Amino acid sequence: MAGRPEGGISLSTLLPQEFIRLKRDGKALPKAAIAEFVEGMASGSVTEGQVAAFGMAVFLNGMSRDEAVALTIAMRDSGEVLAWSLPGPVVDKHSTGGVGDNVSLMLAPIVAACGAYVPMISGRGLGHTGGTLDKMDAIPGYVSQPDNQRFRKVVREVGCAIIGQTGDLAPADKRFYAIRDVTGTVESIPLITASILSKKLAAGLGALVLDVKSGNGAFMAKPRDASALAKSLVEVANGAGLPTTALVTDMNQPLASAAGNAVEVTNAVDFLTGRLRDRRLEEVTLALAAEMLVSTGLARSQKEGVANARQALQSGAAAERFGRMVHALGGPADFLAKSANHLPKAPVELAVEARSSGYVRAIATRDIGLAVVALGGGRTRPQDEVDPAVGLTRLAPVGAEVRAGDPLCLVHARSDDDAKAAANAVLAAYDIGKVRPQPSPVVLRQVSS
């Protein structure tokens, strides 16, 4: 029996409210008590209010590395933990979230085409950021939450599968994730760490690469906070037995020129087929691919990894993998060639015209994400339905030269009123001035320990 926390209550009878009180008062949480509380989250014996209170207590008081490792492992162990027997390395990537961040849709097939296996378990939109799972759900027929047998089959035969959490994988995190979204506790480093890593540990990975966003469109706006999160993730992942590295990347503007669900899928298809590749998006995607290939021994250096990833892209091998993955998970067989015929379209399109001439000096990226949420492309409550068709396309990047009347973007909306509201939000988010800003790097640093 482990020791007794303050108040003389044994761990085996520790009430949820007593567990919450320990963290509220800044006390260390015993490992066994963390496991007990997480078990209650998964079973439902811990109420939504208690989960929310615990989240706020952690948000305010933080967690030690050992507590974060214990929380991560407990959430991993709340469901099934996969094991793979494949002829190549198993690796995945996770992004902390941003606006226009559809990297996963290209990255998984690129890395698969280079010889790795990528069982990518993704999440839904959180706050102002888009969710990979919501993007995949925009594809008609695509089964984003298959049973584990189908998931395994697709990974084995195609090399990659982008899915959401099933009820069997880290169910405690699935519940916690939804509650955090609507209770103001999204930005807690220990909770982000445990949420991300519990799913990745449950996926049975051999290596993990993280894309930690920094900037005005990220949850961690300041570079030092993003670096702290990257360090936490890498330390906790390695502490839990999963070899992990991270890249800190810039999110001071939308990564792709599209923000929304179906529109980001279209952008990804264009990227894979070579019709359109946004420069910053390509740089981040190739850097992450190289990191994954190096971490699995499939490339000897970052330079070689980038070259291999670029070859998979240019040869069409990555696009072919994406098309096979979509079809294997229930989507149209001709999706890659005819995505425009299959993806939903919003009935109203409105060009947002610049009010003055000059250069795009800055973009309030979070406000762009919130404009998509307001259109219906995100959630304000866990149970909200997402409209896959709405969003923004042709977003002008920082540094672009515009004249008064030139389009800053194209709004895709359900109604004229929604389109006008989104247009006003976009205009307020764009700062246009007379001096062209200096270009900024998109990959800021690498964290390996």
Residues with a known catalytic role: 92-95, 132, 180, 195, 199-200
Q: How far apart are CA 263 and CA 248, in angstroms?
A: 25
Is the separation of the CB atoms in 91 and 295 below 8 Å?
A: yes
Neighbour-count burial for 408-437, b at 16+ CB within 10 Å, e otherwise: bbbbbbeeeebbebbbebbeebbebeeeee
Neighbour tally for 65: CB within 10 Å: 13
Please choose, from the candidates 425, 323, 314, the residue with its C-alpha nearest in 3D space to the C-alpha of residue 373: 425
What sign for the dihedral angle of Cα 82, 88, 94, 100?
negative
* Tokens at 320, concatenated: 């072919």
Spatial strand order of the sheet with 91-95 comes to: 91-95, 207-214, 244-250, 443-447
Q: Residue 46 in contact with residue 175, Cβ under 8 Å?
A: no
Closest CA to 133 of 95, 163, 169, 102: 163
Residue 401 gets the label, from left (phi > 0), alpha (psi -120 to 50) or beta, of beta
Nearest to 438 by CA among 333, 360, 386, 353: 360
Q: How many residues are there in the chain?
A: 449
Half-sphere exposure at residue 8, Cβ-oriented, CA atoms within 13 angstroms: 0
Q: Are 359 and 230 in contact (CB under 8 A)?
A: no
User: Can you tell me the distance from the alpha carbon of 86 to that of 154, in angstroms, rounded to the nearest whole number?
Assistant: 12
Q: What is the rounded distance in angstroms from the CA atom of residue 218 to the CA atom of residue 181?
A: 15
Helix (H) or strand (E) holding 370: helix 365-372
* CA 148/CA 68 separation, integer angstroms: 27
**Cα-based distances in Å from 227 to 64, 91, 173, 295, 444:** 17, 22, 23, 20, 10
3-state secondary structure of 276: coil
